[in-house]
């Protein structure tokens, strides 16, 4: 019996993460140090990556069918979040409301939301980008696309003199309420997910494209509503990777369509021999995508949660998080996949 699409993507993500948990080598090459599946109506995961400002959140928003050429595929759209540790430089780029939540009792020692407090946190908080995953049921083809602004800005107009008038607002300047480096913070998660998928299907990507568009910023109006408007100080960046097995001869139709005004920054169908030698043609391309796809790595599991002999890791700022199966963890917050 066919799986429903939400179940399909929950299973795909879980399988990627569980298989990576078998070996410390995979964790080291992918940079992933811990993963927890989050209880709730929406499929969601917390992911820790070495050297990053804090744990990430990956939230499945909706799924759909996609038919491209001969391929009938499932497509999922995820929101990407990041919860910077207070000691991290990235923490200062959050809005004051986001900072206050992180420093409150609504966050636990893992620097992620306490289970009972999650409904109190606005869904727009901590967002840094989006991930689109398209895959067929047989793992023959898959496309991963990460998109974010280089700077995610939230501003509030500062009015000069009298109160704003609908016919003639006198805006002197803006207060910058939030200025998060979405692309810089979010791309390491995308990179790590590609590592996990390449190891899961034992196949490297065949095509990489990176592009950009003119960006925008969010404006908080006096009535509390938020609108988007064009912003010369930001741009939308997008990276897409296509996976296709040896039976797929034509896969040009799998790459997402370009939008009006979109400029291609890099577009390459890979030469595997060049990449095996570590000569990546663009800094966003990770040679480990190939190494992990072809590596002969066996399981090194020595505990039920996938950890080896340690149960504590640290984020960039030294904030610790413990194994999901250890006494310090709240069993209601997450289902353990692994937390090394």
Confidence of residue 146 (pLDDT cuts 50, 70, 90): very high
Q: What is the mean pLDDT of residues 16-38?
A: 90
Range in 212-221, 235-244, 269-278, 326-335 with the lowest mean pLDDT: 326-335
Confidence of residue 311 (pLDDT cuts 50, 70, 90): very low
Is residue 157 exposed (0-12), middle (13-18) or buried (19+ Cβ within 10 Å)? middle
Confidence of residue 303 (pLDDT cuts 50, 70, 90): very low
Give the strand pairing for 334-339 and 44-49.
unpaired
Alpha carbon dihedral 62, 68, 72, 78, in 10-degree steps, equals -20
- Residue % of the chain over a pLDDT of 70: 78
> Is-contact 22 29, C-beta < 8 A?
no
Which residues on adjacent β-strands are paired with residue 238? Answer: 147, 211
Please tell me the predicted confidence (pLDDT) of residue 208.
93
Alpha carbon dihedral 106, 63, 49, 19, in 10-degree steps, equals 120
d(CA 189, CA 135): 19
SS3 assignment, position 82:
strand
For 237-289, what is each residue's pLDDT tens digit? 999 999 988 776 677 788 888 889 999 998 888 765 555 555 566 788 898 99
Burial 93-127 (b: 16+ CB within 10 A, else e): bbbeebbebbeeeebbebbbbbbeeeeebeeebbb
Alpha-helical (H) ranges within the chain are 5-20, 24-30, 96-102, 182-201, 272-276, 288-294
d(CA 148, CA 234): 10
Is residue 42 exposed (0-12), middle (13-18) or buried (19+ Cβ within 10 Å)? middle
Confidence of residue 40 (pLDDT cuts 50, 70, 90): confident
Q: Which two tokens stand for residue 74?
A: 């499932």
- Residue % of the chain over a pLDDT of 90: 55
Mean of pLDDT over the chain: 82
Please tell me the predicted confidence (pLDDT) of residue 270.
75
Please tell me the predicted confidence (pLDDT) of residue 25.
87
Range in 54-68, 158-172, 263-277 with the lowest mean pLDDT: 158-172
**DSSP letter at 116?**
G
Q: What is the mean pLDDT of residues 202-221?
A: 93
Q: Is the pLDDT of residue 77 over 90?
A: yes
Q: Which of 94, 121, 105 is nearest to 40 (CA)?
A: 121
Q: Which of 178, 183, 185 is nearest to 149 (CA)?
A: 183
Please tell me the predicted confidence (pLDDT) of residue 5.
92
> Is-contact 256 168, C-beta < 8 A?
no
SS3 assignment, position 201:
helix
Q: Is the pLDDT of residue 130 over 50?
A: yes
Q: Which of 285, 201, 179, 277 is nearest to 245 (CA)?
A: 201
d(CA 288, CA 266): 19
Q: Is the pLDDT of residue 340 over 80?
A: no
């Amino acid at each position: 019996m066919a799986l429903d699409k939400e179940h399909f993507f929950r299973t795909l993500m879980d399988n990627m993460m569980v298989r990576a948990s078998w070996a410390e080598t995979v964790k080291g090459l992918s940079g992933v140090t811990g993963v927890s599946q989050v209880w709730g109506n929406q499929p969601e995961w917390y992911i820790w990556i070495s050297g990053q400002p804090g744990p990430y959140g990956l939230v499945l928003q909706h799924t759909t069918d996609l038919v491209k050429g001969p391929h009938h595929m499932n497509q999922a759209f995820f929101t990407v979040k990041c919860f910077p540790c207070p000691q991290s430089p990235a923490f200062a780029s959050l809005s004051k409301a986001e900072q206050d939540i992180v420093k409150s009792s609504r966050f636990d020692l893992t620097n992620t939301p306490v289970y009972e407090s999650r409904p109190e946190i606005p869904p727009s908080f901590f967002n840094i980008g989006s991930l689109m995953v398209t895959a067929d049921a047989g793992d023959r083809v898959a496309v991963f696309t990460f998109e974010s602004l280089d700077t995610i800005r939230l501003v509030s107009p500062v009015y000069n003199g009298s109160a704003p008038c609908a016919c003639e607002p006198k805006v002197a300047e803006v207060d910058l309420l939030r200025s998060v480096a979405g692309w810089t913070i979010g791309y390491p998660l995308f990179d790590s997910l590609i590592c996990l998928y390449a190891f899961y299907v034992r196949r490297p990507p065949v095509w990489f494209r990176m592009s950009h568009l003119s960006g925008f910023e969010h404006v908080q109006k006096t009535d509390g509503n938020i609108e988007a408007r064009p912003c010369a100080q930001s741009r939308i960046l997008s990276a897409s990777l296509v996976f296709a097995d040896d039976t797929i001869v034509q896969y040009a139709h799998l790459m997402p369509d370009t939008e009006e005004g979109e400029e291609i920054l890099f577009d390459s169908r890979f030469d595997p021999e060049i990449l095996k030698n570590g000569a990546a043609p663009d800094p966003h391309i990770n040679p480990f995508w190939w190494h992990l796809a072809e590596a002969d790595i066996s399981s090194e599991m020595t505990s039920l949660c996938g950890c080896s002999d340690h149960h504590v890791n640290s984020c960039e700022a030294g904030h610790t998080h413990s194994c999901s199966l250890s006494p310090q963890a709240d069993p209601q917050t997450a289902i353990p996949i692994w937390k090394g």
